[in-house]
């Protein structure tokens, strides 16, 4: 009888560890884990996001151990890391050499289906030119899985983990106003731009990835506002008439 009671108490107090399931999400990078556009040698902020399901009836998540596996050929250095919950809510563990950096939290979290940021890492990226034009995914699953639990430790979850991949942009080396891409800016670029905007000609050849704006016709964007429209044509004409500033490209390209 005594043995039966001991076994029953042990069973009731043992944590229930569920498999990764929908609604419990751990995301590194963009909030929706979409691709990030970067350049070699960049320093980038890599946010950490979490969500719990709406209408969840269990206790609020009280602790998190969020692990990740870093590809050290792509991420050359962790420059900094921080907590966005509160100053004392997080702690970090960074074992050398990049083996499963971990973000710990001791803070009540119940997002009710929303996705919130809990922290971030600041990474220095590789300077290897081989990666230019490549899309790579630098964050993987650590052999030590991420684990979340309630305040009593009786319910624990393995969150569904995802991460943004990185597109290493070649950058955008263009001549401002050179809409037709012939290597010079002149009246022909005005004609080319007008034809395209009226739907009578080809698009400008120099399209660059310019986060956060997305693809931009960088050379045709004569006024540097990171979009190409009739205002750029007016800007070009003003310069060619000697009454305006020289064309300039989007500063984010």
Asked if pLDDT for residue 19 goes beyond 70, the answer is no
pLDDT for residue 58: 67
Q: Mean pLDDT throughout 224-252? A: 89
| Residue 209: band (very low, low, confident or very high) from pLDDT cuts 50, 70, 90 | confident
Q: What percent of the chain has a predicted confidence (pLDDT) above 90?
A: 49
Q: What percent of the chain has a predicted confidence (pLDDT) above 70?
A: 90
**Rounded Cα gap, residues 54 and 23, in angstroms:** 8
Q: Mean pLDDT throughout 177-193? A: 91
Select the more confidently predicted residue: 233 or 15. 233
Structural contact between residues 231 and 219, judged by C-beta atoms closer than 8 angstroms:
no
Q: How far is CA 28 from CA 78, 112, 252, in A?
A: 14, 19, 23
Burial label, 24 (beta-carbon count in 10 A; 0-12, 13-18, 19+) = buried
Look at residue 36 and give its three-state secondary structure.
strand
pLDDT for residue 20: 56
Q: What are phi and psi of 231, to 5 degrees?
A: -65, -35
Asked if pLDDT for residue 8 goes beyond 60, the answer is no
Asked if pLDDT for residue 99 goes beyond 60, the answer is yes
pLDDT for residue 16: 40
Residue 125 pairs with which residues in a beta bridge?
Answer: 75
Q: Mean pLDDT throughout 213-229? A: 88
Rounded to the nearest 10°, the torsion over CA 55, 110, 144, 167 is 100
Look at residue 232 and give its three-state secondary structure.
helix
pLDDT for residue 46: 96
| Residue 47: band (very low, low, confident or very high) from pLDDT cuts 50, 70, 90 | very high
Select the more confidently predicted residue: 126 or 99. 126
Q: Mean pLDDT throughout 138-167? A: 89
Select the more confidently predicted residue: 6 or 233. 233
Select the more confidently predicted residue: 138 or 244. 138
Domain annotation for the chain: domains and CATH numbers: 15-168 (2.60.40.680), 171-253 (1.10.1330.10)
Least confident window among 100-114, 130-144, 206-220: 206-220
Q: Mean pLDDT throughout 72-80? A: 93
Residue 129 in tokens: 């030119």
Asked if pLDDT for residue 196 goes beyond 80, the answer is yes
């Amino acid at each position: 009888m005594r043995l039966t009671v001991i076994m029953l108490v042990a069973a009731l107090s043992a944590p229930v560890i569920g498999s990764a399931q929908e609604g419990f999400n751990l995301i590194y990078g963009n909030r929706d884990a979409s691709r990030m556009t970067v350049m070699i040698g960049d320093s980038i902020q890599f946010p950490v996001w979490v969500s719990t399901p709406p209408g969840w009836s269990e206790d609020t998540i009280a602790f998190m151990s969020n692990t990740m596996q870093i590809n050290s050929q792509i991420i050359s250095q962790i420059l900094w890391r921080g907590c966005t919950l509160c100053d004392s809510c997080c702690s970090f563990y960074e074992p050398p050499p990049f083996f499963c950096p971990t973000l710990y939290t001791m803070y009540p979290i119940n997002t009710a289906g929303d996705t919130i940021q809990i922290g971030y890492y600041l990474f220095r990226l590789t300077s290897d030119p081989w990666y230019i034009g490549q899309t790579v995914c630098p964050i993987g699953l650590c052999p030590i899985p991420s684990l979340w639990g309630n305040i009593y430790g009786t319910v624990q979850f393995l969150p569904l983990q995802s991460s943004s991949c990185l597109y290493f942009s070649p950058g955008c080396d263009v001549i401002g106003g050179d809409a037709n891409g012939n290597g010079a800016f002149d009246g022909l670029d005005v004609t080319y731009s007008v034809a395209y905007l009226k739907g009578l000609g080809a698009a400008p050849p120099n399209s660059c990835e310019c986060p956060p704006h997305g693809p931009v016709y960088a050379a045709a964007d004569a006024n540097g506002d990171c979009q190409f429209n009739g205002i750029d044509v007016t800007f070009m004409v003003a310069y060619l008439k000697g009454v305006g500033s020289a064309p300039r490209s989007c500063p984010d390209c």
